[in-house]
Structure 1
Amino acid sequence: MQRGVQQIACARGRGPRARSRGSVTAETAVVFPSMVVVLGVSLWMINVVEMQLRCVDAARAGARAIARGEPPDRVRQAMLAALPADAHTTITRDNDTARVRISVDVRPTWGGALPVLAVHATAVSPLEPGELP
């Protein structure tokens, strides 16, 4: 007789299954915004890494060009063509080396809630034989 009463209670929505109704919706409502934030931060970090690689490539190319004896103004223009407009470059030529330092502030393109990160790259190349400092 008791078994029949339990089946009727479950059928009316008062049993163990009724207590967990809507829990998936509540869990999704909590997890989904967190996943969106994690995805946004991940995409921004990919942008930061991409900018770091661009800075390293431009610094290496600039240091090699200075070491070959190319004019610093032309080298700076070539480097800035591959970098954002707000990039800062420093070209130094010593007795036996050419040094290029590039720094860029990376901002998220889709919102201002994340902080600005500074990305730096430095490359050093020995001067070619016959080049004067």
Structure 2
Amino acid sequence: MARPWSYGTDRGAGAIWVVAFAAVVWVTGVAAIAVGGVRGARHRGDAAADMAALAAAARVAEGSGSACGRAEDIAAESGAWLSRCRVNGEVVDVSVTVRLKVPMGIGRLRVVSRARAGPVGRDGVPWRDTAR
């Protein structure tokens, strides 16, 4: 009696393909989440650096210690760590670091963002010392 179909050598191949496809979808999903987390940390770091630089620039007249102290407070409140603060005349240059843990065994990453702030001239154009 003839069989209408036979397992032959393909027995169980469909299950292996389903498991392989599920693994690819899972790895792609976790990678997308990791990339999204890094991008979110980058945006948070950029915002923290901008706010810290503006806060420090507002306190430059009180001295560089006061300006950098305020920048450190603002960075900490934003979930970042102030890694550098330099006052050059009336211009403040800050760097902040955001730490995050990335899944899939990649570990911990540090995202560094920089910002500068200082006085502006007429019409919002940055002020420059032309007496050089």
What's the TM-score once normalised by structure 1's chain length?
0.71
Q: Is the 1:88–1:104 Cα contact (8 Å) retained in structure 2?
A: no
The percent of aligned pairs where both chains have the same amino acid is 14
The aligned counterpart of 1:119 is: 111
**Kindly tell me: are residues 56 and 126 of structure 1, through their superposed partners in 2, closer, same or farther at Cα, counting changes over 3 Å?**
same
1:100 counterpart (90, 94, 97): 94
Q: Deviations over 1:70-123 (max 9, x none)?
A: 633233112211115xx3432111014111101233212xx5611333211000
CA distance in 2, matches of 1:128, 1:93: 16
CA shift, 1:128, in A, is: 6.1
Q: Is the 2:45–2:113 Cα contact (8 Å) retained in structure 1?
A: yes
Structure 2 SS opposite 1:44:
helix
CA shift, 1:45, in A, is: 1.2
Gaps of 5+ in 1: none
Q: What's the RMSD between the two structures over aligned residues?
A: 2.4
- Largest Rg, 1 or 2: 1
Aligned pair 1:63/2:59, yes or no? no
The aligned counterpart of 1:54 is: 44
Q: Aligned AA for 2:112?
A: H
Dislocated runs of 4+, deviation >6 Å: none
Q: Aligned AA for 1:113?
A: G
The aligned counterpart of 2:84 is: 90
**Kindly tell me: are residues 88 and 95 of structure 1, through their superposed partners in 2, closer, same or farther at Cα, counting changes over 3 Å?**
closer
Q: Is the 1:68–1:128 Cα contact (8 Å) retained in structure 2?
A: no
Q: Deviations over 1:42-61 (max 9, x none)?
A: 10111111111011001111
**Kindly tell me: are residues 74 and 126 of structure 1, through their superposed partners in 2, closer, same or farther at Cα, counting changes over 3 Å?**
closer
Q: How many residues align?
A: 114
Structure 1 SS opposite 2:33:
helix
Q: Is the 1:58–1:79 Cα contact (8 Å) retained in structure 2?
A: yes
Structure 2 SS opposite 1:113:
coil
The aligned counterpart of 2:74 is: 78
